[in-house]
């Protein structure tokens, strides 16, 4: 399929740590009603630990794993979170130990079938796997031109890199041995121009370009600033719309 995770370098990790808003708790609150126990949570592809720390509000202990050492170097410390280097498809955990496993915006980078089998192994019979996603809806409240600028300017200049785009709904979940529940929601994040540029520099779109050497991060940032400056003048804060989805899966008996 040609899927390559672009979030592996030190530069990508630093940009991610600097620019991603904390929205994970909004998704995890939708997981809480499905929990059968709260002893151990496992956060897979934890990145800089945003979801890992948010998960401590649901469980007593969190073990968090990522395949990127630079991401883990930026991970947020927390007394009840233990970070370690590991691929999603081969976690260093015993069978049936986890009450909940979370994946925040990373399922599309995994070897899907291997990961789902690993989740089946690690989860307790009453455990849940939460596949959480949050996406930039390309909407700036009160500025309809922003959406066009995102799709026709930004999206054409910096297209998203290849990922696993196969659908994953109830038929696919049941075929993998899970029940399925999904919830969608929207929320807003406030950015000024500097924050917007810093956030867009965390997208796989821009990271793929800089990692391939086509442009430097400084060149991408300069283009972004010029492209959006008149829509978000210096000193102005905009309200941006994000979408969210939580797919909660439980092992079938």
| pTM to 2 decimal places | 0.96
Q: What is the domain extent for residue 16?
A: 10-150+162-190+240-251
pLDDT, one tens digit for every residue, the chain (253 residues): 457 788 999 999 999 999 999 999 999 999 999 999 999 999 999 999 999 999 999 999 999 999 999 999 999 999 999 999 999 999 999 999 999 999 999 999 999 999 999 999 999 999 999 999 999 999 999 999 999 999 989 999 999 999 999 999 999 999 999 999 999 999 999 999 999 999 999 999 999 999 999 999 999 999 999 999 999 998 899 999 999 999 999 999 7
**Which strands, in side-by-side order, build the sheet including 178-191?**
81-85, 61-66, 40-44, 98-104, 123-140, 238-251, 178-191
User: What domain count does the chain have?
Assistant: 1
Residue 114 domain-assigned (yes or no): yes
Residue 155 domain-assigned (yes or no): no
Residue 134 domain-assigned (yes or no): yes
CATH code of the domain covering residue 100: 3.40.50.150
Residue 25 domain-assigned (yes or no): yes
Residue 49 domain-assigned (yes or no): yes
At a CB cut-off of 8 Å and minimum separation 6, what does 224 contact? 154, 196, 197, 200, 201, 206
Residue 92 domain-assigned (yes or no): yes
Residue 125 domain-assigned (yes or no): yes
Residue 199 domain-assigned (yes or no): no
């Amino acid at each position: 399929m040609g899927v390559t995770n672009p979030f592996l370098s030190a530069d990508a990790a630093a940009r991610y740590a600097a620019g991603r808003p904390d929205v994970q708790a909004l998704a995890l609150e939708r997981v809480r009603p499905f929990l059968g126990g709260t002893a151990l949570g496992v956060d897979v592809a934890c990145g800089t630990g945003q979801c890992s720390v948010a998960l401590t509000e649901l469980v007593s202990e969190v073990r968090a794993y990522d395949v990127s050492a630079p991401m883990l170097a930026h991970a947020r410390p927390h007394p009840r979170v233990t970070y370690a280097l590991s691929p999603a498809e081969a976690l260093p955990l015993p069978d049936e130990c986890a009450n909940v496993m979370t994946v925040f915006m990373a399922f599309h980078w995994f070897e899907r079938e291997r990961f789902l089998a690993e989740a089946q192994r690690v989860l307790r019979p009453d455990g849940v796997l939460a596949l959480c996603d949050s996406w930039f809806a390309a909407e700036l409240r009160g500025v309809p031109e922003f959406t066009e600028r995102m799709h026709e300017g930004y999206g054409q200049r910096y297209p998203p890199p290849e990922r696993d785009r196969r659908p994953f709904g109830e038929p696919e979940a049941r075929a993998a041995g899970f029940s399925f529940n999904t919830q969608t929601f929207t929320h807003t994040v406030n950015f000024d121009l500097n924050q917007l540029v810093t956030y867009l520099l965390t997208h796989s779109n821009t990271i793929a370009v800089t990692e391939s050497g086509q442009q430097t991060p400084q060149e991408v940032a300069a283009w972004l600033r010029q492209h959006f400056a008149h829509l978000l003048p210096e000193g102005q804060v905009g309200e941006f719309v994000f979408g969210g989805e939580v797919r909660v899966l439980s092992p079938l008996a």
